[in-house]
Chains A and B, each alone.
Chain A
Amino acid sequence: DTGVSQNPRHKITKRGQNVTFRCDPISEHNRLYWYRQTLGQGPEFLTYFQNEAQLEKSRLLSDRFSAERPKGSFSTLEIQRTEQGDSAMYLCASSEGTGAEQYFGPGTRLTVT
């Protein structure tokens, strides 16, 4: 297993377009997290899945954001009608249990022009 992977690594889009990111966690990890990180800040929690169930969703996650983990394996994060304020690094992490180490992916850097 090569760790958590994210695709694409970079995405440039025009304001108003929809974008979708993919995260492939470590295969035996049942927990998956999405974060957003802007320059000079720490990661901000967006949402959490245990297997296919989305158990937590931050109030930061507006209605334009949706995440899925259909079979409890990979996950997608979609942003509809992107805004310039959505420009950030989107990080995915997975872990195998409560309090366990989170393994982070390399992130997807989104630029909205």
Chain B
Amino acid sequence: AQTVTQSQPEMSVQEAETVTLSCTYDTSESDYYLFWYKQPPSRQMILVIRQEAYKQQNATENRFSVNFQKAAKSFSLKISDSQLGDAAMYFCAYSKWTGNQFYFGTGTSLTVIP
């Protein structure tokens, strides 16, 4: 069965600094998708970044980048130049290649300190 583990329930970062959120997953599949979603307090979940497992190149979206280690089944999120608006719960998610099922981790609550 697929599982997603986020071992950091809470993280904090100084404004303008860099922070890395960890995620590991378990799967026997070779093709799949990985995602990071952001859920601000009392607001809707939004996509931060996605990665196709067959791509070796790490995905980047502006200040957000991932370190995808397929053999280690690790998918960490790096946020550079942290901003106050980055404060939120961050969820790592796994999807089968078919997209029929999604599995989310338990989340990491990120605090940005001014």
Contact = CB atoms under 8 A, between A and B. Distances in A.
B64 interface: no
Nearest to A97: B99
B103 A45 contact: yes
A85 interface: no
B43 to A, nearest CB: 8
Classify chain B: how many residues form its interface, as a range. Answer: 20 to 34
Main secondary structure of the interface of A (DSSP, over half): loop
A45 B33 CA distance: 15
Interface residues of A, number: 27
B52 to A, nearest CB: 7
B30 interface: no
Main secondary structure of the interface of B (DSSP, over half): strand
B46 A99 contact: no
Contacts of A93: 45
B56 interface: no
21 contacts: A35-B102, A40-B106, A40-B107, A41-B107, A42-B104, A42-B106, A43-B45, A43-B102, A44-B104, A45-B102, A45-B104, A48-B100, A48-B101, A56-B100, A93-B45, A99-B52, A102-B102, A104-B37, A104-B44, A104-B45, A107-B44
Interface of A: 3, 31, 33, 35, 40-45, 48, 55-56, 58, 91, 93, 95, 97-102, 104-107
